Structure 1
Amino acid sequence: MLQALFGSKGFENISITDYMEDFDGVDHTLIDVRTASEFREGHMPGTINIPLNEIGRRTDEIPTNRPVVLVCATGNRSGAAARQLAGAGREQLYNLTGGISAWARAGHPVER
């Protein structure tokens, strides 16, 4: 069943529009995998920062009982993080395509 939903990669790429529609009112964790300095420059509201190079050793900070949406600047690093977490057996993973760049371009709020 999961393979049918998420495909062989173990996660789903999700657009900004789909994220806004599908996760409105849904308990989930939003993780920004950019560096701490990039995160300080601006991030999506409610996001926690776990840089990509720390994901493997900080998995205990990532809940397993709800969906996890990963974001970076454009979707590349968050995709790598999603692959890494899926490879470790994590489920309910989503990669936000376009990242914070697309989020900001669409006029959504950015915290600094």
Structure 2
Amino acid sequence: MSFQHLDIPTLQAWLDDGRELALVDIRDPVSFSQGHIPGSRRLDNDGVGTFLEETPAGRPVVVVCYHGHSSQQAAAWLAGQGLDEVYSLDGGFTEWQLRHPDSVEG
């Protein structure tokens, strides 16, 4: 099973619709604390086991990084752990912040 790409307008629509999904941010702790997409949680190697235990296999998972590159590797790995629907956010948090400066928590 592989991951899929997700564009920012689609994620915005899902969030606006209240779609149930797991939004994970793999950036470093300082960057995450300075700003992240509302509803996202920071995910690192230490927390991934707990995340996998808590997340139903059928729940969509969206992986966010800086620019949409390292999230692809993380999404592919998560898809390999048995999650059915894993997405890498194209453009990452940088693009999200450019398009939606009012939709950033810090």
TM-score by shorter chain over 0.5? yes
* Maintained 8 Å contact 1:32/1:39: yes
Contiguous gaps of at least 5 residues in structure 1: 1-8
User: Whole-Å Cα distance in 2 between the matches of residues 17 and 104 of structure 1?
Assistant: 12
Aligned to 1:4: none
* Maintained 8 Å contact 2:3/2:79: yes
Aligned to 1:111: 105
Aligned to 2:86: 93
Superposition pairs of residues 1-112 of structure 1, within 5 angstroms: 10-23=2-15, 24-51=17-44, 53-54=45-46, 56-58=48-50, 59-108=52-101, 109-112=103-106
Contiguous gaps of at least 5 residues in structure 2: none
* Maintained 8 Å contact 1:71/1:99: yes
Deviations 1:13-35 (A, max 9, x none): 01101222345321111111112
* Maintained 8 Å contact 2:58/2:83: no
Q: 1:26 to 1:100 in 2, by over 3 A?
A: same
Aligned to 1:6: none
Percent identical residues:
35
User: Whole-Å Cα distance in 1 between the matches of residues 53 and 105 of structure 2?
Assistant: 25
Name the count of aligned residue pairs.
Answer: 103
Helix, strand or coil for the counterpart of 1:18?
A: helix
Q: TM-score, normalised by structure 2?
A: 0.83
Q: 1:30 to 1:56 in 2, by over 3 A?
A: closer
User: Whole-Å Cα distance in 2 between the matches of residues 77 and 49 of structure 1?
Assistant: 14
1:86 is displaced (CA, Å) by 1.3
